[in-house]
Amino acid sequence: MTRSNAYIGSPLDRIEDLRLLAGAGTFVGDLKPDNLLYAVILRSPISHGRIRKIGTAAARSLQGVAAVITAAEIGEVPIIPVRQHGKPEGEPYRQPVIAGEKVRYVGEPVAVVIASEQCIAEDAAELIELEIDELPAVATHEIAARDQTLLFENTVTNLATTFYARMGDADMAFATAEYKRKEKFSVHRHTASPMETRGLLAEWNPELQRMVVSGATKVPFFNRNVVAEMLRLQPSQVDLIEVDVGGGFGARGEFYPEDFLIPFAARYVGGNVRWVEDRREHLMAMNHAREMYADLEIACRKDGTLVGVRGRIDIDLGAYVRTNGFTTPRNVVQFVSGPYLIPNIAIDAFSYLTSKTPTGTYRGPGRYEASFFCERLLDMAANDLGIDPAEFRLKNLIPEDQLPRPLATMAGLDRTWQTELDNGAYGVVMERCLKEFGWEEKKKLQGQLIDGRYHGIAVGNFVEGGAGGRFENARMTIEKGGTVTVAVGSTALGQGLQTILSQIAADALSMPIERIRLLHGSTTLVTQGFGSFHSRSTVMGGSAILLAAEALVALLRDKGASHFGCEPDQVSVSDGYVYYGTKSMEFSAFAGSEVERQFENRKLTYSYGSHTAHVAVDPGTGHVELLDYMTVDDVGRIINPATLHGQILGAIVQGLGSTFLEHLQYDENGQLLTGSLADYLLPTATDFPNIRGISLGLRPCPNNPLGAKGAGEGGLIAVGGVIGNAIAAALRSMSVEPRDLPLSPPQIWRLIQQAKASNHNPKMNEQS
């Protein structure tokens, strides 16, 4: 190998940008085959009720309408399966692809209108007479827990499942603890909200009895098998095609009701049907996330050594258990300890169904929430004990020599639910972050009132799971002109995957990247694949590419040896040539050579790092200005530093949006109040200009040949806790403690008013 590592580690310009910057990308809404019909979905305007009538006659008779599809036209209504982290008790709560008898959230599909133009389909949808007998809304997890109104009458409870995270002996630890503090926290409902809404184009060929669905992403192979089964087709009759995708962040690409309804509609009308979600339906139909309520207690020694955490977390799941099953509820209890050495843990999680949009994974699922709870508790404890919050954390980070270390056991569950942190120099990275941030300098500002604003700083740490999903496949084929086509099951969601995987393939074959043609995502490319979730595509797809490249080189050596009449180990492969001594042959001579390899992995990667923040709080308005935000993380091995940097910065701002701005609000009737981007506030360029990130390849991952760890979520995970702590530090003189997200100006202002009122009548902390 003469050119190894020429591409990996280099901030290569992205291949994707050539088309995306020219406006020549192909997103699903750009596809317009001949004879295209448009689908519009009528959604329930009622949170919880029984459908009395769906009158479709007027809609059907509107000129241009091809069909109106309701549960009656579908017949036996398929139920969406759970893809991961399912449990038997969750099965009764899965979502039918269309509401037939009952509706359980505002936004649940009730009918599909197919017409010659989208505007006509919308006109027709307005003509559908939908009559629903309202049932009491189950708008909060507290109402759900009473079980007076059941969302599913065939069950006995709205409690879908429970989890128990256990380590050591928490009761004993708390019984003997020198210090403990109990607190309630909450994280609010918000969502991924990528800039491109969802969309699908389903093309049914009646002659060939074949279905091609474009717009797939994340997990096309799983989704292909599901839709094939629901349509009673063989998987070989269905292909899912990935086109350019406008962001995913965990929410896009799961199997949603529309992933059945649109292909079904295409077959029903015998042609091509496209559906592009509008922003309002996006906000009520795509997975929501994060809403949960924690009641937790921390225990430590007087010197600040953590000894335990215990308590319960109540989770508002929304109306159905969707494809992500219980990933988030599992994660939040498992990751409360984060990168900290907490020897005794007992946390229970209760997941309730409510009559609101179902929830699923969003970037850092469960981990953002867990980090908020944990980091807030740590700062409260550090402050009570009079220890600097940075020192407190350095003391409690898991030392490198104690890694790998299992996280809390998920009691009563098999090993697929368990995990362990792999490796890392947690303290080294945190010290680097403090230094880059200027912690010692900025500490002087802690709690100071300067020009009418209170200043505060905080630090926190995270671990980020990566490389989930058992395997990924990669296939390499030498084409006639000598280029190498590399096909992988990993999918792109806008993260620059084509560039990153091309870099890995080019290095693995020691050839110029221009001669690599990388294809990904579609079910037509490889025999089996998984996709992109859980920060896995670089690690899993990249590792599969390494294995395939190894196999291709071995194959070329064999073929070269027989051609040159030598031994395979006398043959070398690089730059698109096969060499033996002074003789060489171009790859094109070996056109048609092909290998497919699978990378299997049962161990997750854990990148990790630290966040620091400096805020100024205006007590008159409740506004918090972010003066500085600094992260340092270790991702094991960096493939493309520029794309990684973009991932980190983008994640930080998403985390800041989660913490300050974004909030899916419901009223007591289960009506969504934030159905537009004027009400659901995404961060803009003027909100958080002062953010910085440094990524390191400090400790390569031992669990994959690439040495890389999943990255891209860590920039988000610690934001809530760090910002909460920085605000608490700024307002320390008033004993303000943010416990509930989002930290909107009215919320901060209210906390200050409450603190002012109760400071006249100070309450003792629960301290022993």
Region 10-49 residues binding another protein, contact defined as CB under 8 A: 11, 13-14, 16-27, 29-30, 32
Query: Using an 8 Å Cβ cutoff, are 472 and 530 in contact?
Result: yes
Distance CA 661, CA 511 (A): 47
How far separated are the first and last CA of the chain, in Å rounded?
64
273-312: which residues touch another protein (CB under 8 A)? 278-280
Residue indicated by tokens 């929410």:
251
* Inter-axis angle of helices 542-564 and 497-508, nearest 10: 30
> How far apart are CB 450 and another protein at their closest, in Å?
17
Tell me how many degrees the CA angle 690-693-695 measures, rounded to the nearest 5. Answer: 175
**Pick from 528, 684, 758, 759: which binds another protein (CB under 8 A)?**
684
Residue indicated by tokens 């505060």:
456
Distance CA 261, CA 111 (A): 9
Q: Is 686 in the site for another protein (CB under 8 A)?
A: yes
Q: Which SS3 state, helix, strand or coil, does residue 143 take?
A: helix
Q: Which SS3 state, helix, strand or coil, does residue 690 take?
A: coil
440-499: which residues touch another protein (CB under 8 A)? 493-496
Strands 471-478 and 449-450: unpaired
Of 313, 314, 327, 410, the residue nearest 353 (C-alpha)? 314
Q: Is 650 in the site for another protein (CB under 8 A)?
A: yes
**Pick from 146, 746, 760, 763: which binds another protein (CB under 8 A)?**
746
Q: Is 633 in the site for another protein (CB under 8 A)?
A: no
**Pick from 5, 588, 673, 754: which binds another protein (CB under 8 A)?**
673
Q: Is 201 in the site for another protein (CB under 8 A)?
A: no
> How far apart are CB 447 and another protein at their closest, in Å?
22
120-149: which residues touch another protein (CB under 8 A)? 120, 122-123, 126
Interface size with another protein, residues (CB under 8 A): 82
> How far apart are CB 662 and another protein at their closest, in Å?
11
Q: Which stretch in 47-55, 113-121, 388-396, 472-480 sits in contact with another protein by CB under 8 A?
A: 113-121
Distance CA 448, CA 437 (A): 18
| Residue 517 bridge partners (DSSP) | 485
Query: Binding string to another protein for residues 585 to 604, with x set by CB under 8 A, is what?
Result: --------------------
Is 287 or 344 the residue whose CB approaches another protein more closely?
287
Q: C-alpha distances in angstroms, 447 versus 455, 458, 598, 620?
A: 5, 11, 55, 16
Neighbouring CB atoms inside 10 A of 452's CB total 10
**Pick from 62, 77, 649, 696: which binds another protein (CB under 8 A)?**
649
Distance CA 23, CA 9 (A): 28
> How far apart are CB 232 and another protein at their closest, in Å?
34
495-524: which residues touch another protein (CB under 8 A)? 495-496
> How far apart are CB 626 and another protein at their closest, in Å?
12
382-401: which residues touch another protein (CB under 8 A)? none
**Pick from 53, 302, 750, 756: which binds another protein (CB under 8 A)?**
750
139-198: which residues touch another protein (CB under 8 A)? 193-197
Is 116 or 157 the residue whose CB approaches another protein more closely?
116
Query: Binding string to another protein for residues 327 to 366, with x set by CB under 8 A, is what?
Result: ----------------------------------------
Q: Which stretch in 6-14, 317-325, 522-530, 703-711 sits in contact with another protein by CB under 8 A?
A: 6-14
Is 231 or 672 the residue whose CB approaches another protein more closely?
672
Is 63 or 582 the residue whose CB approaches another protein more closely?
63
Is 87 or 189 the residue whose CB approaches another protein more closely?
189
221-250: which residues touch another protein (CB under 8 A)? 244-247, 249
Residues with Cβ within 8 Å of residue 131, at least 6 apart in sequence: 51, 52, 53, 54, 55
- Alpha-carbon radius of gyration of the chain: 27
The DSSP result for 746-768, as a single string, is: HHHHHHHHHHHHHHTSPPPP---
Is 53 or 750 the residue whose CB approaches another protein more closely?
750
Is 405 or 623 the residue whose CB approaches another protein more closely?
623
Q: Is 685 in the site for another protein (CB under 8 A)?
A: yes
Query: Using an 8 Å Cβ cutoff, are 133 and 52 in contact?
Result: yes
Q: Which stretch in 129-137, 579-587, 668-676, 717-725 sits in contact with another protein by CB under 8 A?
A: 668-676
Distance CA 520, CA 535 (A): 16
**Pick from 375, 688, 717, 724: which binds another protein (CB under 8 A)?**
688
Q: Which stretch in 164-172, 309-317, 594-602, 653-661 sits in contact with another protein by CB under 8 A?
A: 653-661
Query: Binding string to another protein for residues 85 to 104, with x set by CB under 8 A, is what?
Result: --------------------
**Pick from 471, 564, 579, 749: which binds another protein (CB under 8 A)?**
749
The DSSP result for 17-62, as a single string, is: HHHHTTT---BGGG---TTEEEEEEEE-SSSSEEEEEEE-HHHHHS
Query: Using an 8 Å Cβ cutoff, are 636 and 607 in contact?
Result: yes
> How far apart are CB 629 and another protein at their closest, in Å?
10
Distance CA 740, CA 661 (A): 13
Is 13 or 142 the residue whose CB approaches another protein more closely?
13
Element (H, E) at 377: helix 367-385
Phi then psi for residue 683, to 5 deg, are -65, 140
Distance CA 543, CA 534 (A): 16
Q: Is 419 in the site for another protein (CB under 8 A)?
A: no
Is 20 or 585 the residue whose CB approaches another protein more closely?
20
- Tell me, what amino acid is at 612? T
- Tell me, what amino acid is at 462? F
Q: Which stretch in 392-400, 480-488, 536-544, 671-679 sits in contact with another protein by CB under 8 A?
A: 671-679
Distance CA 237, CA 600 (A): 27
Is 114 or 345 the residue whose CB approaches another protein more closely?
114
CA dihedral over 280, 494, 611, 465, signed as positive or negative: positive
The H helix count followed by the E strand count for the chain is 20, 30
**Pick from 443, 479, 745, 755: which binds another protein (CB under 8 A)?**
745
Query: Binding string to another protein for residues 61 to 80, with x set by CB under 8 A, is what?
Result: ---x----------------
Distance CA 220, CA 362 (A): 18
Is 124 or 729 the residue whose CB approaches another protein more closely?
124
- Answer left, alpha or beta for residue 687, where phi above 0 means left and psi between -120 and 50 means alpha: alpha
> How far apart are CB 82 and another protein at their closest, in Å?
27
Q: Which stretch in 93-101, 501-509, 542-550, 681-689 sits in contact with another protein by CB under 8 A?
A: 681-689
> How far apart are CB 676 and another protein at their closest, in Å?
6
Is 123 or 259 the residue whose CB approaches another protein more closely?
123
Of 460, 56, 66, 84, the residue nearest 254 (C-alpha)? 84
Distance CA 393, CA 263 (A): 52
Is 416 or 621 the residue whose CB approaches another protein more closely?
621
